[in-house]
Structure 1
Amino acid sequence: MTSAASLFACRPADVTLERVRELVAIGQPESLTLEYKEKYTPKVPVSVAAMANSYGGLILVGVTERSVDDRIIGVPEDAIVQIVNGCHQTLEPPWEPEIIPVPLPDSIGRMILVVRVDPAKAPCPLLVQGAAPIRLHGRNAVADRAGLARLINETAPQAATAGLRLPPADLPMDGQGRPSADFLVRTGMFVPVDASATWRPLSERGVQAFADALNNSPLHRDLFQWCASIGEGGMNPFHRSGFNRARKVRLLWQGGPDGAPVFPLEAVARIDLPDAYGTPVSHLQVSLQVVARFQHTFGRTVPLSIARLHELIDALTATLVDAQVTEALAALAGVDPLVLPQPLGLDFLSSTDMPDLLAGNGLTLVADAGTSRGANLLADPGVDQRDPAERRELIDSWLQQISLDSGLLGMEKVLEQLRSTSP
């Protein structure tokens, strides 16, 4: 089912009439990131500015809000010129959003105009007659002095989250201060929180919806298959465990033999609203990590192939851009899924030297090159991690960095072979 978030993320060629009809058919009301217009009016450039100064969004021109059988009525082609001219004449500085025409086959010359406003591409703030419009739920307003100051100090609301960093990742330790895990892989992001949500605890229903989404996610399926491949198919799905409070959530997934003192595979999802209640600008700190403990469970290491590691990282990142997961997170934050950022990067920590962990993969150790036991890798902001092909390129880049920083050569060849054998 097409949502506003998925339509915003589509490539222009993939924005079709069928997708627009699906979005309109589900009756999604106007919101922080969605607006309908029957035709061009001078209010369209104001909405463009308001969305650019907030979280971005979609304006569907040629769709009526009235309760009629077919809300898609279309506009003539010259509405494109009206929008472009209106934005250049009204906005300070002049700026035009992306406009995607979607023809109506049964109406000669009429079309739907999908206006996509990306705040990362717009100058900030965008003014209209000296004022800075902002977007509230289903309507436009004008930023007050404090809001205008924030807009001037930020290049874009989404860019503010890009400067945030997750706390350093640490391997679990035993009572003697020694690592109690073979390795750890973690990713995460910061989700902007609506002002009203900063006053509320993280609701039980909302957290359960997040747990349910995780238990239907790529990560759940990948970990279960991994357990089954080593003959240990038992698992406990994501559930509350450990330190949980009104503004902190910890969900635990465990896989391995029943009754084992230590599970060989664990996944932990954390949600943390770190700021004080009512802080004007807050973010949900979201992290998702997998911990492997094969040595401590079986008394032996389980070989970690590059293919296996690639699949795990792909499952981690794919989960945090999964539609059901992002909808659950957006509900907890009180925002539209459209505004959710993508994972910031990847942490990879090992209890042994990386060449030992990745032994047997056809990699060659450079003599006297030193080694490493971890990596903190950033995601390319230009990569759309929802796209499997782009996500694969990003993961390939991460694995090459991990390999080279560990004094290992040959990762590019291994990845080429892996790509050639992948379905």
Structure 2
Amino acid sequence: MAVGQPESLTLEYKESYASKIPDSVAAMANSYGGLILVGVTERNVPDRLIGVPEPTIVQIVSGCHQKLEPPWVPEIIPVPLPETDGLMVLVVRVDPAMAPRPLLIQGAAPIRLHGRNAVADRSRLTQLITEPAPQTAAAGLRLSPVELPRNDQAQETADFLLRTGMFVPVDASATWRPLSERGVQAFTDALNNSPLHHALFHWCASLGDGGMNPFHRSGFNRARKVRLLWQGGPNPAFPLEAVAKIDLPDAYGTPVSHLQVSVEVRAGFLHALGSRPALSVARLHELVDALAASLVDEEVVGAVAALAGVDSLLVPQPLGLDFLSGIDVPDLLAGNGLTPVRDAGTSRGANLLADPGVDQRDPAERRALIDSWLQQISLDAGLLGMEQALERLHAAPPAEPVLS
């Protein structure tokens, strides 16, 4: 994958470890944050991904500890390069909200200008010392709380909801622009060719009669906010919905740092059709897998990267999974061979984080991650037997998983 974005306020390339990396970390932390890609050349060559060996991580950590005042180490994300002897690109993510500002080097506070570092003057240094820490979307590394949708009578209209998402770093050039129509259309087209679309279509087909409206703009859309809706099932009720949202927070005079992306699936059989079938483990696993697989799909990632003005390599993987149920989870998952623990209580959902060491692009690693999520959902609801249910599913997965 080629890296095509030039260096900017929030992006810098290094072919290998350099003693100036801590300076750039401090400069970005004292400014708008950003990313340093180690293992990527600035030279105009067909493949700019060179890669570095794993010990480079230790060099970066040691350099930051030794040079920065106070010592601080940013997040370092290794991205393995295929068909190399263990080489990787290191994504050094500098979040100003997490750094102890100002960060100093030999008593001076570096700051970031366009494509280079400088030293803060007296006025800027005073501002860094006295201002509150910037509040970025990634400060908590979690999407905002989600609730089941309700109608005009405040009644819940979904049997359950699944949501995942991520925060994508935004290049300075994209900070002030609206989300382009062509870019949003490319994102829409990518979703309509994604694993999520195919899983939902598969579900609709298992229901028999019905129709489908693929992802399209619907609801609150503005220059910096996008809402896409997918509908399917017996119409006009359409008990199956998926909603994709992109939010570029309003800048209010200062550059934003992240684009917020989320995708959720809603099932509303009780409200739409008058009956609420139990949810099979196979169907739940298929939906969660489709959600995660879609946000690491090459076309979807490319469309999101274009909207953020960054290279696809900088788009992170989904943060985790939100799962909400309109009824107690044991009732929703009835019929799967799960056994309730007496007097254990119950739950109506879970907020689950992704293991950052898991590569969700790899089907096997993604499956193991989803297995752990489903086991946690089950145990938190006072249910035993999910491990055995998943073993049966993976040993002989049904050709047509259905709601049972």
TM-score normalised by the shorter chain: which range applies?
Answer: 0.7 to 0.9
Alignment correspondent of 1:326: 301
Q: Do residues 237 (structure 1) and 214 (structure 2) align? A: yes
Give the TM-score normalised by structure 2: 0.74
**Residue of structure 2 aligned with 1:45, choices 9, 13, 19:** 19
Shift of 1:223: 0.9
Q: Deviations over 1:8-33 (max 9, x none)?
A: xxxxxxxxxxxxxxxxxxx7766765
SS at match of 2:202: helix
Alignment correspondent of 1:277: 252
Amino acid at match of 2:43: E
Q: Deviations over 1:180-209 (max 9, x none)?
A: 221111112222333443322222222112
Name the CA distance, whole Å, in 1 between partners of 2:50 and 2:167: 39
Name the CA distance, whole Å, in 2 between partners of 1:323 and 1:399: 26
Alignment correspondent of 2:183: 206
Q: Do residues 362 (structure 1) and 337 (structure 2) align? A: yes
Q: Deviations over 1:262-287 (max 9, x none)?
A: 10211001122334433334432222
Q: Would you say the 8 A contact 1:186–1:289 is kept in 2?
A: yes
Amino acid at match of 1:253: W
Q: Which deviates more, 359-368 or 224-233?
A: 224-233
Q: Would you say the 8 A contact 2:34–2:94 is kept in 1?
A: no
Equivalent residue runs for 1:1-400 within 5 Å: 2-4=1-3, 35=13, 44-46=18-20, 49-50=23-24, 53=28, 55-60=34-39, 65=43, 116-119=90-93, 145=125, 161=138, 163-232=140-209, 234-257=211-234, 260-400=235-375
Name the CA distance, whole Å, in 1 between partners of 2:370 and 2:48: 42
Amino acid at match of 1:289: E
Give the TM-score normalised by structure 1: 0.71
Q: Would you say the 8 A contact 2:109–2:125 is kept in 1?
A: no
Q: Would you say the 8 A contact 1:321–1:342 is kept in 2?
A: yes
Name the CA distance, whole Å, in 2 between partners of 1:325 and 1:310: 21
Shift of 1:308: 0.9
Name the CA distance, whole Å, in 2 between partners of 1:119 and 1:421: 42
Name the CA distance, whole Å, in 2 between partners of 1:409 and 1:238: 37
Name the CA distance, whole Å, in 2 between partners of 1:153 and 1:419: 47
Amino acid at match of 1:50: S
- Structure number with bigger Rg: 1
Q: Deviations over 1:22-77 (max 9, x none)?
A: xxxxx77667656476x99xxx433575368554444458x78368x999999xx9
Q: Would you say the 8 A contact 1:275–1:282 is kept in 2?
A: no
Amino acid at match of 2:213: N
Unaligned runs of 5+ in 2: 399-404
Name the CA distance, whole Å, in 2 between partners of 1:414 and 1:220: 26
Q: Would you say the 8 A contact 2:328–2:347 is kept in 1?
A: yes
SS at match of 2:243: strand
* Structure that is richer in helix per residue: 1
Q: Which deviates more, 176-185 or 191-200?
A: 191-200
Shift of 1:117: 4.8
Q: Structure 1 pair 48/310, CA: closer, same or farther in 2 (3 Å)? A: same
Amino acid at match of 1:348: F
Shift of 1:92: 5.2
SS at match of 1:45: coil
Q: Which deviates more, 194-203 or 390-399?
A: 194-203
Work out the number of aligned pairs and report it: 376
Amino acid at match of 1:216: N
Q: Would you say the 8 A contact 1:267–1:288 is kept in 2?
A: yes
Q: Deviations over 1:201-236 (max 9, x none)?
A: 222222112111211211111111111122246321
Name the CA distance, whole Å, in 1 between partners of 2:50 and 2:301: 31
Name the CA distance, whole Å, in 1 between partners of 2:251 and 2:125: 23
Shift of 1:351: 1.8
SS at match of 2:237: coil
SS at match of 2:20: helix
Q: Structure 1 pair 124/65, CA: closer, same or farther in 2 (3 Å)? A: farther
Q: Would you say the 8 A contact 2:160–2:266 is kept in 1?
A: yes
Name the CA distance, whole Å, in 1 between partners of 2:192 and 2:293: 13
Name the CA distance, whole Å, in 2 between partners of 1:200 and 1:401: 41
Tell me the percent identity: 65
SS at match of 2:19: helix
